[in-house]
Structure 1
Amino acid sequence: MEATFVLYPNMTALDFVGPFEVLGSVPVVTARFVAASLEPVKSDNGLVVVPTDTFSAVKSTDIIVVPGSGHWRELLKDSGGVVEWLREVHPTTKWTTSVCTGSTLLAEAGLVSKATTHWAARSDLSDRGVEVSEDRVVFDGKVVTGAGVSAGIDMALRLVEAEFGEMVAQAVQVGIEYDPQPPRSYDSIPPEVAAGLKAAFESRQA
C-alpha cells in the first residue's frame, strides 16, 4: 500500500513526520513525498525535506497525508498547486487524510463535509461550509482529519486500525512508545497565556 505525503513551503514538520512514523511502521506501506518540484522543501521551523515525486508525476495513490501550516490563510490564497492536485488525485485514493490546518486545504478543494483542525483554524473550516468538530480524529467517509499537530499520530494510528486491524495498530503504538492522552484545550490555560498564543498565531497570518 502506498502512502503519499504532501510537501509545501512552511508546512509543519510534525504534521507529516508523525503519520510517517506510524504508517512507516507497517511493512506493507511504502512512502512517497510529493511536491510542486523536486527542490528541497523547508518547513515552517526550518526542517528541509527532499521530495521523491512531483504533483505532475503522481496521478493516483492509496493514501494521501496533507500536513498543515502555521501560515494556513496565506496558503489558502495560493496553495502552490496543492489544492488542484488534491482534487485530481482524491478520486483514486482509499484514504485522504490531513493533520492540523491541512484540513483547510481539503475544504478548499471541496473534499470534506465534516472535519477537525487546529483550534486556531476552526473558523476557516466553517467559512468553507464544513461541519467543524473538536474531536481529536474525525472520519468523514474515506476522508480522515486530525486536530492540531501531534494529533497526526492519533490520526495515523486510527487509520492503521481501520485498514489493518486493532492488533496491528496496538503493535505500532507500543513500538513507537506512544500513549495518547486528551490534549489540553485552549480554554483550559491561563487567560494571559491564551491571549499570547492567539496573538502569535494571528501574527503569522498578517
Structure 2
Amino acid sequence: MADTFKIVFIIYPRLTQLDFTGPYEVLARLPNAEVVVASKDGGTLVSELGLAFTNLHALADVDRADLICIPGGPGQTEAMLDPEFMAEVKRLGEGAKYVTAVCTGSLILGAAGLLSGKRAGSHWAYRDMLAMFGAVPVADRVVRDGNIITGGGVTAGIDIALTIAAELAGEDRAKAIQLMIEYAPAPPFNAGRPELAEPHIVAAVKERFAEFATQRQKAIASLTERV
C-alpha cells in the first residue's frame, strides 16, 4: 500500500459506536491510510448510547474513497430511508475499491444496490433481511465476496478490519496491529452467538430486538417496492 489509501467511514445518528470505533482502531493504524469520518451533514452526531462524534465531514464534500465502511445501529433504518444520504453512499460505494460494512451497516449497502447477488453478513438477528435486497445471507463472522467485505454484529467489526488490514498491508502488519490493540478475545461467557447462548437468553434478546426487526422489515419492504 505505497500510495495514500483513502478510507471513508460513513456514519449517521444513533449508530452503534463500536461498529465504527472497532474498525477505526484497526484501519487508522495502516501505513499511508487517510481516514475520513463523514456524515450526511457533517458537524456533530450522537451514537445510540449518547457518545458524540464531532468535526465530521459532510458526505457531499468527500470526493472519492478507496474503501468505505458503514457501521450498523438503531439509526440504520432512518439512514436507509434518507434519499440524500443513500445517494452519497451509492456514489462513494460505486467508486470504491473495497465496500465494507459492520453489523446492520450491510443493510445500507443492500439498500444502495451494492449487494445484489453478493454473499453478505450482518447481525444474526437481522441477517436474513439481506435477501430482500437480493443478497445471499451468510452466517460467518467475516464474509468476503469480491470487493465486498461484511460480517457479523458489533465486535465482528474488529475481525472484519483485521481481514482488510491483511489484504491491504499483509498478514504481518495485520498481526502487529492485533498485538498493538491486544485483541485476544477470552469472554467470560460463551454466549456471543445464538447457537451458543442458552435458549432463555436468546429469547430475551430476540424480544428486545423485535421492534427493531419489525421497523427494518417494513422499511426494506417500502424500499424494494419502489424498485
Q: TM-score, normalised by structure 1?
A: 0.92
Pick from 51, 64, 85 the counterpart of residue 88 of structure 2. Answer: 85
Deviations 1:95-141 (A, max 9, x none): 11100000000011111221000011112111211100000111111
Cα distance in 2 for residues equivalent to 1:178 and 1:165: 18
Partner of 1:31, secondary structure, is strand
1:5 Cα deviation from its structure 2 partner: 0.7
Structure 2: segments with no counterpart, 5+ residues: 216-227
The answer to whether residue 153 in structure 2 is matched with residue 148 in structure 1 is yes
1:45 Cα deviation from its structure 2 partner: 0.9
Cα distance in 1 for residues equivalent to 2:119 and 2:55: 30
Partner of residue 99, structure 1? 102
Query: How many equivalent residue pairs?
Result: 205
The answer to whether residue 119 in structure 2 is matched with residue 114 in structure 1 is yes
Cα distance in 2 for residues equivalent to 1:180 and 1:134: 19
The answer to whether residue 207 in structure 2 is matched with residue 202 in structure 1 is no
The answer to whether residue 53 in structure 2 is matched with residue 49 in structure 1 is yes
1:83 Cα deviation from its structure 2 partner: 2.0
Structure 1: segments with no counterpart, 5+ residues: none
Partner of 1:156, secondary structure, is helix
Partner of 2:126, secondary structure, is helix
Q: Stretches of 4+ moved more than 4 A in 1?
A: 180-183
Identity of aligned residues (%): 34
> RMSD of the TM alignment (CA)?
1.9
Counterparts of 1:1-206 in structure 2 under 5 Å? 1-76=5-80, 78-79=81-82, 81-112=84-115, 113-179=118-184, 184-204=192-212
Partner of 1:4, secondary structure, is strand
Cα distance in 1 for residues equivalent to 2:18 and 2:152: 12
